[in-house]
Amino acid sequence: MERSLQKQLIEAFLFLKEEPAKLSAIAELLDVTVEEARALIAELQADLDGAARGIRIYEVAGGFQMGTRPELAPYLEAALGEEESGSLSQAAMETLAIIAYKQPVTRMEIESVRGVKCDHVLENLLKRKLIRISGRKEGPGRPLIYTTSPEFLKYFGLKDLNDLPPLSKNQAPEAGEEKAGSEGQKPVPEEQ
């Protein structure tokens, strides 16, 4: 099969797919290895970029999916009207962060980190499909356990869970230092 035809096929396939298409599925479609498929996708991506097209290919949630260019967002927003249900609240973000990094995790475990009840937040995250109940934990009460969903990866534009920003202790200057080493510098006070 000619290379240009292969790329056309990928473009058409991704156009049809509503969910991220797995690399293996694309390779199977073209009857090539996954490495070749990946190279072809990269080439197609370059073609799309070079031709100043309105769409790109995004690698999200373990697959490839077509999407609009970020630069077009302001225009599209106006044209589409208020769509989706908006950004997540701080409470939802904190809860989601705990689930993302500690999963599978129970409600009690989440609440113990946040220090507040989380049932409503969890309810909303479930409704938005960003998390899901993946079973029950063995032990007293057999509590439900929560994990993130593929929708979560799409929502944040992540390839997979390894693509999450690292949860590192030295991001914050004021508390990440060793216990003794912090006399010299003072963190900038934050005005709320």
Partner 1 sequence: MHEAGYTIKLPVFEGPFDLLFHLIKKAEVDIWSVSLAEITEQYLAYLQSMKELNLDIASEFLVMAATLLRLKSKLLLPRPPKPEPDEEEEELFNINSAEELFNRLEEYRLFKETALLLKEKEAEQQKIYLRSTGGQKMMVISRQQSYYFFWEGPHLLSEIMRSLAEAAAAAAMQPTIDTIDDFPVADKLASIYDLLRRSGKALPLSAFIRSNQLWELITTFIALLELARRRKVLLFQERPFGRILVAVNQDKLKEQEDGA
3-state secondary structure string, the chain? CCHHHHHHHHHHHHHHCCCCECHHHHHHHHCCCHHHHHHHHHHHHHHHHHCCCCEEEEEECCEEEEEECHHHHHHHHHHHCCCCCCCCCHHHHHHHHHHHHHCCEEHHHHHHHHCCCCHHHHHHHHHCCCEEEEEECCCCCCCEEEEECHHHHHHHCCCCHHHCCCCCHHHCHHHHCCCCCCCCCCCCCCCC
Is 8 a binding residue for partner 1 by CB under 8 A? The answer is no
With CB under 8 A as the contact rule, which of the stretches 1-9, 23-31, 45-53, 175-183 interacts with partner 1? 175-183
Nearest distance from residue 148's CB to partner 1, in Å? 11
C-alpha closest to that of 45 among 26, 64, 30, 27: 64
Q: Are 151 and 129 in contact (CB under 8 A)?
A: yes
Instruction: Name the residue nearer to partner 1 (CB basis): 35 or 157.
Output: 157
Phi, psi of 25 (to 5 degrees): -65, -40
Measured from the CB of residue 6, what is the shortest distance to partner 1 in angstroms?
A: 20
Site for partner 1 in 24-53 (CB under 8 A): none
* 111 touches partner 1 (CB under 8 A): yes
Stretch that binds partner 1, among 2-10, 22-30, 42-50, 176-184 (CB under 8 A): 176-184
Least Å distance between CB 41 and partner 1?
Answer: 15
- Site stretch for partner 1 (CB under 8 A), options 23-31, 36-44, 45-53, 154-162: 154-162
Of 35 and 173, the one with the shorter C-beta distance to partner 1 is 173
- Interface with partner 1 (CB under 8 A): 14-15, 17-18, 55, 58, 60, 65-71, 73, 76, 80, 84, 87-88, 90-91, 93-94, 96-98, 100-101, 108, 111-117, 126-127, 129, 132-133, 154-158, 165, 167, 169, 171-172, 174-175, 177, 179, 182, 186-187, 189-190, 192
